[in-house]
Structure 1
């Protein structure tokens, strides 16, 4: 039901956050919100969508939480607070957007950074545990355990769900930026969730305006804009992924590229380059090249060297290997990829065997490339990825 899907995206985080604030129980809040949406799915097709669907869902979730707390003999104070939820909460003037405010509330520095980001994605953005696990390159069960541990710690240490005062925003900004970037990436990799990209860019604009003294917020916005600028050319008519070197650059959004470069230049002028700014600089190298042959791969490889020092992750190392292959030849890149393949960190990441397959293909080692493409196919998360890999496999086996 499209109406309910739209309301879910708009209201889910607010409803859950409201119940968390009152009950202090993250699981109870999510369960009651899910019950409210399930009830809506049953009643709205029959009775029609309410004039104020968010208020209807909040009331249904509040009533469900009240019933649960009564059965569990919860304190009368929590029940009184739940009853008071019909009165709107006062606005927080420091924040230009309610969802951004809730993200700052969720990203309490008392929790480890990854736990903050994962919990915010699950609670406020409505991403599934499996989707969050893929974002962090861990199995769904592992991510589920991490979320459970984070919620237990919140209960055990009585970590409050509250919006920080303005002077404490910087200590939560890194986590909020991580949430927004993973939201954008989810929409970028899954066509069915494409609306997440627009929402992430909208919130990134607000974050950069809220904290103009932090150049990394500008770097994050620039990075999103530069990636979004290429969106129209990323897939063919049948949904198959189109590699960047084969994309029709006339379809790239030049206005978005221009804005992204301007935002990046303002951020870099602060001379405090962080990971988002370096990634945006890499994206700008791609976006401003007139054609694939004009891409400054030595510069991109040098930027990845710097990024690897700032953000020493296996995915960064894999991307660095691609840049080295383009700048110095596929054999040099394959050495780095094989080193990553010998470890376990990217074992279930389809782009590792896909990258290895591409380098083997470029070296003319067809049978080995075919085997690596088959490994990537077994791990590919989307139909667009599978179509691209099948095409490449057909090329090396024909």
Structure 2
């Protein structure tokens, strides 16, 4: 039976693997990506009528041919052309997954961390330039220039796919994986499972507690995914989630991985974040949450990273542990321009009993929400409080 369309999930998985294979054969990063994109366009035209038995091998062959065609047409690269291997014969592309090696190439030390993450999200994560720009809160044109510069920087850089001995910085790779997971968890592209798969693979190749900490964090968050939205697709806050829908196997695995990482006494930000997630997962009800201990972990996160987001989350946790007034005082020291600051302020004012201010702030936060689900949730909160205020005044 012939497929009616191309499997987008398959394309997303295969694309970085094929790019990495071309780089390993001698193509520079930008040329490899261009060749693979051309091959994908051809696949979109031909696969719906006749999908190959081995899609990966087909893409490798098609992309390599297109790379050779471009290379041979440029007289300035004659010397390089002479060094190219002959076109490999048709056949299986092999079972080796080069995707993780491509992560390390994108994390080359010659790139800034922000450029490395952006390039990783584009080349390996499959996100569009627009989606990456939104994640960084910059214009699409600015992000396109940043990615273009990163590609040019990597021109001529090779990649060794054996035992992950590649250029790069593990911290940048972890950051990229973390952002890919977050995009898949809450954005419009489902990449969470792929981020978990790659992080599992990374733990097999690199024995570092922060790598394990990131895997634990992903598993603990992913365990809550079935309960994050209701049947109508509306966002359900953590405190209101049906905990019977949480995946207890993922929670158990995440907690076990985290405990082994923490036992090595080399604390990092992902282990600390995972510890917060584990404390949330460790209770039958939201009322049993150990907020003072969560505040302590956020103190560690602030010490480790100085992150404004960690400060914001800490302020909300302080509000739960020590009362809304204490939380508002902590939030006053956090940059007011930070995304979700207004939503946190609204929540703490509601807990303090100032429903009028909370309703106004929820409405303001809804206008700045990063996605439709959050916008709808915050709008409903504003409407709920406004209705309560009208009812109390009648």
- Shared fold, TM over 0.5: yes
Taking structure 1 as reference, are residues 2 and 390 closer, same or farther at Cα in structure 2, changes over 3 Å only? Answer: farther
Which one is further off, 31-40 or 300-309? 31-40
The whole-number CA distance in structure 1 between the counterparts of 2:230 and 2:271 is: 30
Contact 2:298–2:310 under 8 Å retained in 1: yes
Aligned partner of residue 109 in structure 1, secondary structure: coil
2:374 matched to 1:379?
no
Contact 2:101–2:166 under 8 Å retained in 1: no
Aligned partner of residue 281 in structure 1, secondary structure: helix
The aligned residue for residue 278 of structure 2 is 284
The aligned residue for residue 392 of structure 2 is none
1:144-155 equivalences in 2 (<5 Å): 144-155=144-155
2:229 matched to 1:235?
yes
2:184 matched to 1:181?
no
Residue 38 of structure 1, CA deviation: 2.0
The aligned residue for residue 38 of structure 1 is 41
The whole-number CA distance in structure 1 between the counterparts of 2:216 and 2:378 is: 30
Residue 21 of structure 1, CA deviation: 4.7
2:201 matched to 1:198?
no
CA offsets, 1:291-328, max 9 Å, x none?
11110101101110110111112211111111111112
Residue 17 of structure 1, CA deviation: 2.8
CA offsets, 1:184-217, max 9 Å, x none?
1111102x433x21221122222222223x1111
Contact 2:342–2:364 under 8 Å retained in 1: yes
Taking structure 1 as reference, are residues 376 and 232 closer, same or farther at Cα in structure 2, changes over 3 Å only? Answer: same
2:38 matched to 1:49?
no
1:1-398 equivalences in 2 (<5 Å): 3-21=6-24, 24-45=27-48, 47-79=49-81, 81=84, 83-86=86-89, 97-155=97-155, 158=156, 160-163=157-160, 172-190=169-187, 192-194=188-190, 196-212=191-207, 214-342=208-336, 344=337, 346=338, 349=339, 351-398=340-387
5+ residue gaps in structure 1? none
Residue 132 of structure 1, CA deviation: 2.3
Contact 1:66–1:82 under 8 Å retained in 2: no
Aligned partner of residue 75 in structure 2, secondary structure: coil
Aligned partner of residue 18 in structure 2, secondary structure: helix
Contact 1:17–1:124 under 8 Å retained in 2: no
The whole-number CA distance in structure 2 between the counterparts of 1:285 and 1:170 is: 36
CA offsets, 1:128-162, max 9 Å, x none?
2232233344443443332233233334xx5x131
Taking structure 1 as reference, are residues 394 and 288 closer, same or farther at Cα in structure 2, changes over 3 Å only? Answer: same
RMSD: 2.7
Taking structure 1 as reference, are residues 174 and 29 closer, same or farther at Cα in structure 2, changes over 3 Å only? Answer: same
The whole-number CA distance in structure 2 between the counterparts of 1:169 and 1:20 is: 12
Taking structure 1 as reference, are residues 312 and 376 closer, same or farther at Cα in structure 2, changes over 3 Å only? Answer: same
The whole-number CA distance in structure 1 between the counterparts of 2:149 and 2:290 is: 45
CA offsets, 1:26-48, max 9 Å, x none?
44333332222222222222x32
Paired residues, number: 383
The whole-number CA distance in structure 1 between the counterparts of 2:108 and 2:167 is: 11
Aligned partner of residue 60 in structure 2, secondary structure: helix
The whole-number CA distance in structure 1 between the counterparts of 2:197 and 2:365 is: 33
